[in-house]
């Protein structure tokens, strides 16, 4: 059986330049899948192009943190937002209010995000979460429940190699997510790269990540990336320090495609990790 590699671009719909970069990386590079940020400002204008993009896998990048407001009115999800109706900016800020978060409100907001993506005529094959919030047990249970409810057969299980505290925490939480997903009958790739190099997955780092996956013996793997066009003024409001254009260049590099083949992988989507 061949080994499958999913190259998933996060944040489709964030800005026109991010969406265009993802589509270019699919049409002319090695991106096989993308995760859609349904509440992002450029979702509506970017959705038709994705709908017409043959062969790309599509997921929902569920968000309860970040710069953009929830889809639902703040009055319907008060435990998820602060003053002004805004989500916490980061996962760390989310942790401070996590004990007050009502899972019913989280489910309602995530449901609205999934429904917006599906309502745009996009076929969803996996779920993941902005800043990997679905690693957290309370969020995890909501996401797995919604995967079953919406007949979505796969999720991302983020993993980390760093020996620093966040990396250790991710590894522990990833084991729990994988265990609960397996019990729920939800598929996931055996290996994942991207957490340690998020926003900096340039050519050299991508190839090192690929070598780590190859050495692991995993039969299925995901590398998640963040490509985007270099000139993108709409991205100024997202001060993440990401090298969007550097990642795009790596994904378009013919040598990167050759490295995937040399490592013994074929490119695929989350549909390829779902057992018939």
**Mean of the per-residue pLDDT values of the chain:** 95
Q: How confident is the model over 9-35, as a mean pLDDT?
A: 98
User: Which CATH fold topology does 3-273 show?
Assistant: TIM Barrel (3.20.20)
DSSP state of 199: T
pLDDT in tens, 234-243: 998 898 999 9
Radius of gyration of the CA atoms of the chain, in A: 17
Contact 256, 30 (CB under 8 A): yes
pLDDT in tens, 67-94: 999 999 999 999 999 988 999 999 999 9
pTM assigned to the model:
0.96
Rounded Cα distance between 138 and 129, Å, is 13
The residues spanned by each domain of the chain are: 3-273
């Amino acid at each position: 059986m061949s080994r499958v590699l999913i190259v998933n671009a996060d944040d489709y719909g964030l800005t026109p330049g991010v969406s265009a970069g993802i589509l270019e990386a699919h049409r002319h590079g090695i991106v096989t899948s993308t995760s859609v940020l349904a509440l992002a400002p450029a979702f509506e204008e970017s959705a038709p192009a994705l709908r017409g993009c043959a062969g790309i896998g599509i997921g929902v990048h569920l968000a309860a943190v970040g710069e953009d407001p929830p889809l639902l009115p703040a009055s319907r999800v008060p435990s998820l937002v602060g003053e002004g109706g805004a989500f916490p900016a980061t996962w760390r800020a989310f942790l401070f209010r996590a004990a007050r978060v009502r899972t019913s409100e989280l489910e309602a907001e995530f449901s609205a995000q999934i429904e917006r993506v599906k309502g745009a005529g996009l076929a969803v094959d996996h779920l993941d979460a902005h800043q990997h919030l679905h690693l957290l047990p309370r969020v995890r249970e909501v996401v797995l429940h919604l995967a079953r409810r919406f007949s979505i057969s796969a999720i991302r299980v983020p993993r980390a190699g760093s020996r620093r505290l966040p990396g250790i925490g991710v590894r522990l939480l990833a084991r729990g997510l994988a265990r609960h997903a397996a019990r729920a009958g939800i598929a996931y790739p055996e290996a994942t790269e991207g957490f340690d190099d998020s926003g900096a997955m340039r050519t050299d780092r991508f190839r090192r990540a690929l070598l780590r996956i190859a050495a692991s013996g995993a039969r299925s793997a995901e590398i998640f990336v963040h490509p985007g066009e270099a000139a993108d003024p709409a991205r100024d409001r997202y001060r993440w320090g990401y090298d969007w254009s550097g990642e795009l260049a790596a994904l378009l590099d013919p040598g990167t495609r050759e490295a995937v083949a040399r490592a013994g992988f074929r490119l695929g989507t989350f549909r390829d990790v779902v057992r018939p």
